[in-house]
Structures are given as C-alpha cells and as structure tokens.
Structure 1
Amino acid sequence: MLPIIKVLGSASVGVLLFQLLHLPMPWLLGPIFSVMLAQLTIRTKTSWVWPSWLRNCGLVLLGAAIGEAFTRSIFLNIGNYLLLMLMLNIVLLFFCILLAFVTQKLTGMSFMTALTSSIPGGLSQSVTFAEEHKGIDLGTVTYFQVIRVLSIVSIVPFIVSGQLLPDAVHHPEEPFWKIALYVLLAFASVPLGKLLKLPVAYFLAPVVVGIVINAFGVQPPAIPDSMLHAAQLSIGAYIGLMLKPDMIKLPWKVIMMGLISALILLLFSYGCSIVLAKLAQVDMITSFLSTAAGGMDQMSLIATAMKADPAFVTLFQLFRLLFIYFIVFPLLQWAANKVTRKATDLS
C-alpha cells in the first residue's frame, strides 16, 4: 500500500497547489505535474505505483458523465460531420508522414520507428504495434507517445482556459439511487465492451450506456462533481507516472525531437481546429479539443471539466481513433512487412 499512498499524497499536494495558484483543471493537471516531478526527483526505497484499476474506475465515471451528454440531436447531425471528420484525419495522416521523414533525418532512427512514433494512435496500441515488429525501437516509440500525451494534456487546458463559453447548464440534484444505478450500469457494461473489443472499453462502454438510455427518451442522471474530481485525480496520477526515469536516458536528439514533434502536432491541431470551428459552427474550445491528438479519454475529460461539448469532442476523437485502428495501422502493418521482406532478401 505504501507506493500507492505515496502517489495519492503527491497527487493531493498537486491539487492543493493548483487550487491555491488558481491554475486550470487542478484535479487533473495538479496530479499529473506533482506525481511526475515526485517520481523523477524523489529517490525512495519503495517504488511509485498507481494500479490500473484505479485509473479504470476514473474512466468509467468519465464515460458515464459523457454518455449523459449524448442527446438525440447529436446523432441527427452526425451525417453533417462525416466528410469533415474524414478529410481532417486524411490531412493529419499525411502531416504525420511528413513529420516522420523530418524526425528520421534529424535523429537517424529508422523510418518505421519515426512513423510509429509520429502517428497519434493511442499509447497502448502504438506500443503493442512496436513490440510486434523487430525493426521498430520500442523505447523510442514509448517515449514519443508518452511525451505527446503529457504535452498535449498539460498545455491544452492552459490554451483554452482564457476563452469564454456560455454558462453551463446546471442540473438539479439527482436522487442518490438514480446516480448509483447509473454508475452500476456503467461498470457492468465494461465486460461487454471488452467482449466486443471496443477501444478503451472502460471509457467507451459507459458512454454507450448513456447513449442507449438517451435513445429511449430517458435523461441519465448527471454525475456529481465530487465523483468527477475523484476520476480526474485517478486519471491524472496514472498519466503522471507514464514518464519513467529510464526514458530520460535516450539520446538527446531523440528526447528533444519527441518534445518538438509533440509541440508541432499541437500547433497543427490548433490550425485544424480553426477550420473545424468555422465549418461546424462550434466554439473554439470544443473544436480544439476535438482535433488535439491527446487521446479520446483525456480530451473528453478536459471538455467535461472546461464545460465544453464533451459529446462532440468524443465523437470526433472516436472517429480519429477508429480511422487510425482500421486504416492507418493496417497500412503500417503492410509497410512493416514490406521492409522486413526487403531486409530478408538482402541478407
């Protein structure tokens, strides 16, 4: 229990500091920064551990909160966004290929390593893909994907915090039994989500529960702020532990290029968000979070905390995730097999 208590204590200190300094999203960003700095600077005999089940509980609560926001009107308008989502993701793919060429030239890593590092396809999926192919450097891919998530999740709230949104709709207090029943349904949906192989099942299965309830004309209860704060702290502590001390031992060119590529992707996403905001007629916070390559669950969490439109953000992030899973990763698989065959022929 001591390693978990250490992380919880560090995360709590981060929350308090961010609240005292009036910084955005103290329950998410506070734990990310404090836990990351603590594990990198404080040397103790015990390790730093935050069980994945605690992070998963946070994802379930977040998914339930976002599922409540998926009203019928969103699905009535989904056809208007399909072509826009497809075009934005095709542009993102070509931009990542260009970024991979630049990364290869500046660092000397293989092109497949640079490409797998540059495409924002989700941390676990990208790492798994790298593990399955001998020509791809696993450590480099892990570092690039981790630093991208950390950079985007850390910087985006500061960019959008100064922008104004209409006052959030205040829901009346729901009876405890309604909230408890909805949360139980959200947790019960996870095994089915895993069986159906939904991406990020702990997050997406509860979203589907909220969508189904809404489809029957019943408004799901709003998740209380106290639960969402606990979810943010749990997810933030987990993200803060992603950057391991051994990642800093990579060549300095790789370390610097990881940071630079994450910032370049962030700037590119901001440019795409300006186009999306005008074409889809949404506010800039919602638009930016929809295009930012920081992960569906993280961007949806920020949208919920910032009182943006989490359903719109989740819809666009989910489309990008599926686009990368079913189009980009199969293309990467084909390219990796081709490179392997060429290497075998030469030998």
Structure 2
Amino acid sequence: MALVGGWAFHLLHLPLAWMLGAMCATMLAALLELPVVARTRPMRPPFAAILGVTLGATFRPSALPQGQSLAVLLIAITVSTLLCGFAGYQYLRRIAKFDPITAYFAAMPAGLQEMALQGGQAGGDERRIALIHACRVSLLVLVVPLTYGLIYHIDSQKTPLMTRTASDIASGDWLWLAALIVVGWGVARKLDMPNAPMIGPLLLSASVHLLGWTEASPPHILIVIAQVVIGSALGSNFVETRWAVLWQSLRHGLVLVPILCGVCLSVAIVAASLVGQSFGVVFLTLAPGGTTEMSLIALALHADVALVVSSQLIRILLVNLGATSLFRLRQTRRGSS
C-alpha cells in the first residue's frame, strides 16, 4: 500500500514523492481500518540508519557556517524553539483546554516518541501528546515540500544522491556504509541518544566525510525504500485511532502548525540576511518538524542539507535536554509558592 502511494506521487513528479505518497496511502488505509495496514514503526530503525548515513554524506567543511553567521544561527534556533514552545502551550492550554502537563509536552517542537514518553512519565495524556505531534509532523511534511516545489519548481528526483545506482558503489564503499551504520547506531544506543538509529550513523557519517576519509553514500534504491518505510511509519501513527479523537487532534494541528510556521517565518526573515543564506534554507533550519523528515525535505529540495541537518539536531537537543528540566523547575516553583 505504501509503495503504491509512493509510486503514484512519483508519477506526478511531486517533491519527496516516495515518503509523501507512502505516508498519505498508509494514513488513508489506517483511517479506513483496512486490514492491509500494520504498524510499520518497528521497521523504521534500520532504514532511518540508512538515511542517517545518506544525510551525513552531504557534510563538507564549507557547508557549515562560521563565526558571526554560526552565532546568529544558534541564536535564531534557540529563539524560534522557545517561541514555538511558548505559543504552542498557550494555544493548547487556553484554547484547546488541555491539562497543563499534556499541553506542555504536546507543544514542545521535538520528536513524537521522546515527548510522548516524557509527558506520560510526568502525568500527561501520552496518547493525546503523540497524536498532536503526529498531526504536526504529518502536516508539515505534507505542506512544506509541496509549497517549496511550487515556488522553486524543483524536481527532487534529480538530486545527486538520488542518481547513484548500486553498481556505482565500490566494494570498499559498501564496507564503509555497513560500518557507519553498525558502529554509529551501536554507540548512539550506548549513549542513550534520542533517535539513536538515525542520529548515530548521521554523526559518524558526517565526521568521516568532513575528514575526507570516504565519499561513500547509499544507492538510490535504498534511499527510496527508506523513504517509503519512513512515510508509512508516519501514516501508521493513526492506526486504531477513532475518528472523533483524530479530528480533535487534527483540528488543533491545523491551527497549531500555522502558528508555529508563523514564528519560524518571522525569525527566518530576520536571520537570513545576517547568516548569509537564502530565506528558504533558513526556514528549513528552524521548521518544527521531525529531524528525519525535515532533513529529507532539505535533501529532496536541493537545500543546504548539512546546514539544515545540523540545525535540526541542535533544536532537538535543546528540547530533549531542556523540556523536562524546565517542566520540573516550573513544578518546583509552583509547589513552593
């Protein structure tokens, strides 16, 4: 089902066709309660590792900002993350009437699994937090590439990394790819990193490519399969979800996403000229979608992938390290007052 959806979007020459098509087809099948749908999230880790190595292969010393540009970008990421969290919380708490804990963790612009787990442990509604994040990421993944495709008339199938065939890769490069996946994933898991299957191989791949030790990257067919799996995993978040519950989350997501995008657009307008990058690239560095999904969008849209990937990692790190700490501080202050 996911493959059929990806193929249909590919024939329509839509940006990020394989992931978007798989996501939409799986989501539709899930909502129609078709028996062909099963949760594909368990299949995601190894293919996320492949994407991690692919994204890491785009890193070059010249790709990362230096000096003042780096400082401005870090400030922009921090400001947009804080503003997105604040604006999201205000909407979900005051308008959507979520309880404070659920509203807090549902508003944080970070990964679905991490925020749902932390929110559940803090006493929030884990299911509702997960659905809000699933709707946010799904809407952003659907809207951002289509909007960029219309504005910039980009053919994502002509991306250099999407033209390599298996025969183009030497046997030594296959060994590099396997080592980057196994070692990167293993070390990240030992260090208990968020999204370890992708982040570990990505960081290791970026390191060896920056050092010039290899130029290896996965072939086109593996990247396509990985996109289909990632897309179907996104769509399968809606399996066994009642229409009433889904509509409530989707309704709030349709309001929340424009609010978050408005915040990021405002910060991107100010930061773009100071960083020396185009507005479109800076927005992708700030966009509050999933790390994997936003990085894939950057790859498909020929954006500065290394810049987008590193910025998204910084944003996720900020939220994962800071969300629970800020929540505990807030609860402590309330308890003492």
Q: Does 1:39 align with 2:30?
A: yes
Cα pair 1:133 1:336 within 8 Å, conserved: no
Q: Of 82, 97, 116, which aligns to 1:108?
A: 97
Cα displacement (A) at 1:120 = 0.8
1:271 aligns with 2:266: yes
- The equivalent of 2:40 in structure 1 is 50
Question: Which residue number in structure 1 is paired with residue 241 of structure 2?
Answer: 246
Q: Which has the higher contact order (CA 8 A, sep 6+)?
A: 2
1:99 equivalent to 2:107? Answer: no
Structure-2 change in CA distance of 1:50 and 1:283 (3 Å): same
Q: What is aligned with 2:307?
A: 312
TM-superposition CA deviations, 1:75-106 (whole Å, max 9, x none): 57276313432343234313432332232222
Of 126, 142, 145 in structure 2, the residue corresponding to residue 138 of structure 1 is 126
User: Aligned residue for 2:135?
Assistant: 147
| Deviation, structure 1 residue 236 | 0.8
If the length of structure 2 is used for normalisation, what is the TM-score? 0.87
User: Identity percentage over the alignment?
Assistant: 23
CA distance 1:338–1:303, change in 2 (3 Å):
same
Question: How many pairs were matched up?
Answer: 330
Q: Please report how far the alpha carbon of residue 253 of structure 1 lies from its aligned counterpart in structure 2 after TM superposition.
A: 5.4
Q: 2:208 aligns with which of 201, 213, 218?
A: 213
SS of equivalent to 1:302: helix
Contact 2:110 2:289 in 1 (8 A): no
CA shift in 2, pair 1:123/1:172, >3 Å: closer
Q: Indicate yes or no: 2:180 matched with 1:186.
A: yes
For 2:160 and 2:253, the matched residues in 1 are separated by 39
Residue identity opposite 2:145 in structure 1: P
Are residue 22 (structure 1) and residue 13 (structure 2) matched?
yes
Q: Which has the larger radius of gyration?
A: 1
Give the conservation status (yes or no) of the 8 Å contact 2:169–2:219.
no
How far apart are the structure 2 equivalents of 1:181 and 1:324?
A: 35
Q: Which amino acid aligns with 1:11?
A: A
Q: Residue 132 of structure 1: SS of its match in structure 2? A: helix
Aligned residue in 1 for 2:230: 235
State the alpha-carbon separation in 2 of the partners of residues 47 and 12 from structure 1: 12
Normalising by structure 1, we get a TM-score of 0.85
Distance change >3 Å, CA 285–CA 91, structure 1 → 2:
closer
Structure 2 Cα separation of the partners of residues 141 and 183 of structure 1: 36
AA aligned to 1:221 is: A
- 3-state DSSP of counterpart to 1:229: helix
Q: Which residue of 1 aligns with 2:148?
A: 160
Q: How much is the aligned-residue C-alpha RMSD, in angstroms? A: 2.7
- Letter matched to residue 74 of structure 2: M
CA contact under 8 A between 1:151 and 1:263: conserved in structure 2?
no
Pair 1:306–1:36, CA change in 2 (3 A): same
Which stretch shows the higher mean deviation, 177-186 or 85-94?
Answer: 85-94
- Tell me the CA shift for residue 301 of structure 1: 1.2
- The whole-number CA distance in structure 2 between the counterparts of 1:18 and 1:165 is 14
Gaps of 5+ in 2: none
Report the Cα distance in structure 1 between the residues aligned to 2:141 and 2:328, rounded to whole angstroms. 28
Aligned residue in 2 for 1:326: 321
